[in-house]
């Protein structure tokens, strides 16, 4: 007899929507059925790029996420969910996501903007997944 799994619901904010952010989004859509079978309900509530963000507090559908992956670079704020100038820190403060997916470009001199995003997420008790290694390379002891 197998134990019943506890269901988990997670809201995500994706920071950075270049090649890696779009690939992650497509992978998330492809694996959605698997996640549901495993009792994991993932909702992307915000995606940000260098010009703004796309926000949907009740979570984007798989079709909407795929539509966003086809938007031109730095074009999220021009979509029907777009808000020009909406930043990752705005999303962390206003939406209080469970998980930040930080995939902005790495800057090994300052760690920004990723370092600021990681610190704000942790201040908000938000879990962080990094593809951007600069914040850890520069401030590992402070972050951990």
What whole-number distance in Å separates Cα of residue 3 and Cα of residue 128? Answer: 29
pLDDT value of position 6:
87
Q: What percent of the chain has pLDDT over 90?
A: 94
Mean pLDDT for the stretch of residues 27-32: 98
Average pLDDT, the chain: 95
Total-model pTM? 0.94
Task: Outline where 1-144 has alpha helix (H).
Answer: 19-30, 32-37, 62-69, 88-95, 114-123, 134-143
For 28, list phi and psi in degrees, rounded to 5.
-60, -45
Domains detected in the chain: 8-143 (3.40.50.720)
Is the pLDDT score of 126 beyond 70?
yes
What whole-number distance in Å separates Cα of residue 105 and Cα of residue 20? Answer: 9
Give per-residue pLDDT as tens, 58-117.
Answer: 999 999 999 999 999 999 999 999 999 999 999 999 999 999 999 999 999 999 999 999
Backbone conformation region of residue 4, classed left if phi is above 0, alpha if psi is from -120 to 50, else beta: beta
In a 13 Å sphere around the CA of 26, the CA atoms on its Cβ side amount to: 9
């Amino acid at each position: 007899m197998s134990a019943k799994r506890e269901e988990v619901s997670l809201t995500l904010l994706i920071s950075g929507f270049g090649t890696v952010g779009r690939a992650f989004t497509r992978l998330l859509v492809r694996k959605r059925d698997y996640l549901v079978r495993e009792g994991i309900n993932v909702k992307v509530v915000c995606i940000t790029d260098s010009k703004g963000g796309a926000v949907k507090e009740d979570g984007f559908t798989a079709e909407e996420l795929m539509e966003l992956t086809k938007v031109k670079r730095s074009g999220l704020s021009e979509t029907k969910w777009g808000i020009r100038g909406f930043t990752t820190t705005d999303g962390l403060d206003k939406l209080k996501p469970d998980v930040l997916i930080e995939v902005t470009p790495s800057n090994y001199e300052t760690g920004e903007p990723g370092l600021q995003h990681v610190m704000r997420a942790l201040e908000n008790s938000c879990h962080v997944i990094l593809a951007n290694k600069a914040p850890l390379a520069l401030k590992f002891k402070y972050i951990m």
